[in-house]
Amino acid sequence: MKLDQEEVLGELYNLLLNKGTREWERGQLNTTKEAVESGGKLKEQLAILEAQLRPLASRNNLTPDVADFYLKIKDEPEGHIAFDFEKHLLSDLKNQERAIFAGGCFWCMVEPFEKRPGIISVLSGYTGGELASPTYDQVSGGYTNHVEAVEIIFDTRLVSYAQLLALYWQLIDPTDAFGQFQDRGSQYRSIIFVQNESQKQVAEQAKAQVIASGKYTRPIVTEIRLASPFWPAENYHQQFYQKQPKRYRRIKRARQQLVRFQSLKDKVPLRKPKPKK
């Protein structure tokens, strides 16, 4: 797809104003913008920018919006996929509800829910913290007390909140207070964010059933909290499993292996220390 100069300059300008753009990235982007505005050939300047960004891109270490732009100038298909945030709305208040679940990296939380009948939309984002409109760097650095989470809009005629909870418990390790599987840190805690008293009762019943099942030998630490503002994550993170299927499959496979390992470990009773003579 051929990039239009006016479109590129517009994106560069927006990235320069974007609070999530790191200073080093901002410097490279500004150099490109000034060179193009001064008459430099767009194709040549983008090639220079691509070379500058490539080392960080190869390590998946660009900020999300810059990563999207990098994929676009590389003409990678995923760089041209934009999540339609306007479709993530309750359009039928009588028959639709929201559910918010945090259970580790939101990349692995979208597909299981999105492929379930009755799901209208699944949005990755940040919630539970103090800062408004946090960036990925702020959340991943543990500076805001947010967790990565998914907000689900579902049709109550086709799937119930209790059924979503049943799926949720299958995706997490509810005994881990310091993250989820390979995702370590407070931003990966497992938390159920309820919208109202009805959801709270259903969630507490589901948690009680998990505890009573005896499946886990360690305490269940998954929290149940009243929902707080949910801030959408950057476009790069939305529907990640569709945009970068190979990378997603590797992450999903590692997570599934850890889920199986944890399941086996929890079936082994903890050894009680022998009493001292």
Catalytic residues: 105
Distance CA 13, CA 85 (A): 22
Distance CA 222, CA 190 (A): 5
Burial 144-178 (b: 16+ CB within 10 A, else e): bebbbbbbbbbeeeebebeebbeebbebbbbbbee
Burial 213-243 (b: 16+ CB within 10 A, else e): eeebeeebebbebebeebbbbbbbbbbbbeb
Q: What type of residue is 11?
A: E
Distance CA 186, CA 192 (A): 15
